[in-house]
Amino acid sequence: MTIASKIVNDLIGDLYFHLDDDVVDGDDRPILKANAMRLFQLDEGSAMYSMTIKNPLCFWLAINHTSSSFSFWQTAIVIEQHRV
């Protein structure tokens, strides 16, 4: 899947994560934004990111649930309940 760099940087990088999420207070808390951004690989010269969806069925279930007005938490719970 190919995604425009503005979407990845602005929406995923800045909208979902606050700068405070990148600060580790000595409590071994993971660096959330850095972990999330590692999912995307920048394609040199095209200003596009790519990512590999390892479980397409799970991905499309998540898209369908969130487009049906489920919150991200509700979607995660429902998908986890049906995972085998």
Domain ranges of the chain: 1-52, 54-84
Label the pairing between strands 41-43 and 48-50. Answer: antiparallel
Residue 64 pLDDT: 92
Residue 68 pLDDT level (bands cut at 50, 70, 90): very high
Q: How far apart are CA 7 and CA 5, in angstroms?
A: 5
Task: Inform me whether the pLDDT recorded for 28 exceeds 60.
Answer: no
Q: pTM of the entire structure?
A: 0.53
Least confident of 4-8, 17-21, 46-50, 61-65: 17-21
